[in-house]
Amino acid sequence: MMLARQDLLAAWRRKRIRFEPDISPEQINLSSIDLRLGYIFTRQKAQPSVAIRPAQDFDPSGLVLTETLNGDQDILRLAPKEFVLAQTLEKITLPATLAAHVHGRSSLARSGLAIHATAPHIHPGFVGQITLELFNHGEWELQFFPGRDAICHVIFWEVKTPPLKKAIEILSTYSGQRTPYPPRRNR
């Protein structure tokens, strides 16, 4: 069952869903919570002769550039047809009883912005900033202020049978990630 505004407000006030930095009530919508763009971004290095197998164990360290923007003066610029990994400003902590999906905001999609390529799901027990797969489908350069602009929203779902803590620890591939494209933990 999807959580609606009154459920989201209650879960947030009771600290069932936690955010760091904390959100404001204005970020809570009818059935989602808006999250802001963080400061760390990862871009793929142009490597025309490199082929990777991302479904296998893969360490992207030498093939990506990670940058940190600082403060209100820096702008994330996303050129037409450009792909950038980003993170939400808010670190989220989910209990084992909730899962979530991250989605783009309609107002930004109308300018050509996609928030995720194929990875909207956030597992129960997740702790960390949410990685966003930003792609500019449009013809205009898009500009965003990290730390200020609401970039996505998250929808929360009740989990019928919560997984055990040990299962969450073993199966949580990217929980606690510090950059948008860290090496994947082996399971």
Q: Which residues are marked as active site?
A: 133
Are the beta carbons of 128 and 174 closer than 8 angstroms? yes
Helix runs in 19-138, H state only: 106-109
Distance CA 3, CA 35 (A): 16
- Three-state secondary structure call for residue 165: helix
Distance CA 83, CA 90 (A): 21
103: tokens are: 């989605």
Neighbours of 118 (CB within 10 A): 6
Q: Are strands 83-93 and 33-44 parallel, antiparallel or unpaired?
A: antiparallel
Distance CA 186, CA 171 (A): 9
- Name the phi and psi angles at 177, rounded to 5: -60, 145
Adjacent-strand bridge partners of 100: 122, 156
